[in-house]
Copies of this chain bind each other. A is one copy, B any other.
Amino acid sequence: MTETLSPTTEQVDTREALLDAAESLFSELGIQASSLRAITQRAGANLAAVHYHFGSKEGLVRAVFSRRLKPLNEQRLRLLEACDLTADDAVEQVLNAFLSPLLRMSRETPEGVRDFARLMGRAYMEPSEEVREMLLEEIGEVVRRFTEALGRILSPLPGQELLWRLHFVAGAMGHTVACSHALEKHSHGLCQPSNPDEALRFMIPFLAAGLRAGTTP
C-alpha cells in the first residue's frame, strides 16, 4: 500500500481518489474484473465509500466515464467546427479533430488520463450491454456530427459504404488506444503508441486513405 497523502491539503476528496483508482484499475483489468475492494484499497478509502458517494458500482462506472467524456466531447466539437470541409485535407482535419483530444489528454494529468484512453478503447468492445449503451448515450451526439461531416466530404460515397468505413475507422482507433501497450511490446520499442504525435502521424494517413478509397464495384 503506497498511497501517499499530500501533506498540506491531505486527501481533499475521497470522491476524486475513488474515481482515479477506478479509472486505472478498469483500464488494467477491465470493469468486471475490478472489485470494489481493490478499488477502495488503491484509493485508500473504505469499502462503503463507493456506495456513499456513487450509490453503486454502476454509478461509479458512469461517473468515471462522464468525468472525462464531457470536456473531451466539447473539445472535439470545437475542433470540428474549425475544420475547413472544402479543403484538400478535409478528411485529415476531421479525423484529427476526433482523435487528438483523446490522445492528448495525457497533458493535464501525467498518468491518470492515459489510462482513460485505454479504458475508452476497451469499453467500446465491452460485452456488457449496459456499459455500451451508457457510452453510446454519452458520445452519440458527437458521433452523429462527425458522421455527417465525413459523409459530406466524401459525398458521392453511398451511405452503406460510408457506414462500413466508419465502422473500420472506429475499430482501428479503438484498438490502437486500447492495445497500444501491445504494439509497443510487439515492435520492441520501434513503435511508441504512448506518444500522441507519433500515433496521429501514422493513424490519420492510414484512415484517410481507407476512407477515400475508390468506391467498390
Contacts and interface: CB of A to CB of B under 8 A. Distances in A.
Interface of A: 28-30, 32-33, 121-122, 124-128, 132, 159-161, 163-165, 167-176, 178-179, 182-183, 186-187, 190-191, 193, 201-203, 205-214, 216
19 contacts: A32-B32, A121-B125, A125-B125, A125-B174, A125-B179, A132-B182, A159-B190, A163-B186, A164-B183, A167-B175, A167-B193, A168-B176, A169-B172, A171-B172, A171-B174, A172-B172, A202-B216, A205-B216, A210-B210
A171 B176 CA distance: 7
A13 to B, nearest CB: 27
Give the residue among A168, A173, A216 with the most B Cβ atoms within 10 A. A168
Contacts of A125: 121-122, 125, 174-175, 178-179
Nearest to A199: B164
Contacts of A160: 187, 190-191
A161 B202 contact: yes
A168 B207 contact: yes
Nearest to A216: B205
B183 A163 contact: yes
Contacts of A33: 32, 127-128
Contacts of A179: 125, 167, 171
Contacts of A167: 175-176, 179, 183, 191, 193
Given A190-B159, A207-B210, A168 B164 contact: no
Nearest to A204: B216
Contact of A170 (B128, B175, B210, B212): B175
A125 B27 CA distance: 12
Shortest beta-carbon contacts, A-B, top 3: A171-B175, A209-B213, A30-B127
A206 B175 contact: no
A168 to B, nearest CB: 4
Nearest to A165: B206
A201 B214 CA distance: 12
Given A209-B212, A216-B205, A163 B191 contact: yes
